[in-house]
Amino acid sequence: MTLKVESLRSINWNAVDPRAAERFYTEVLNGQVLRRMHIRGTEVADVALGNVVLGLFDASAQPAPGVPHHTLQMAWPNDEATARAELEGAGVTVEGSRVHGPGPGFSLYVTDPLGNALELAWDPPGSAHG
């Protein structure tokens, strides 16, 4: 089995006031906005804080689906079907997936036995995470 976590990649929270949250994490804690994305219907600002990224999901209208969740960087095959089969073979239900930008990176969404939502992500070495 090749299910192995390389690192914690991101912590993702709903931000009822995304501008205030971004100001706090950039101006007070000296984070840096890495990118802005549109993920599953929601605007997201990724803020680098040390060696982890904080995903601030715009929840000004409503909480983003599947947030809060944490993203783990996986060391697994670059094939989504194989990764999904390995998780399901271990008795884990894959609740959703998405391709990062044009690919080939991808994420699989699962819930751990404690009820925590997890995004298990893979991107080729040296690529920008999506």
* Extents of the domains making up the chain: 10-65, 74-125
pLDDT tens by residue, the chain, 130 residues: 578 899 999 999 999 999 999 999 999 999 999 999 998 889 999 999 998 999 999 999 999 988 999 999 998 878 899 999 999 999 999 999 999 988 889 999 999 988 889 999 998 887 766 5
The CA-atom distances, in angstroms, between 62 and each of 58, 96, 111 are 8, 20, 22
Output the pLDDT for position 130: 59
Residue keyed to tokens 């006031």: 17
For the domain bounded by 10-65, which CATH number is listed? 3.10.180.10
Output the pLDDT for position 37: 93
Query: How many Å apart are CA 31 and CA 48, to the nearest integer?
Result: 5
pTM over 0.85: no
Residues in the chain: 130
Provide the edge-to-edge strand list for the sheet that holds 5-15: 32-39, 42-49, 52-58, 5-15, 69-74, 117-122, 106-111, 96-99
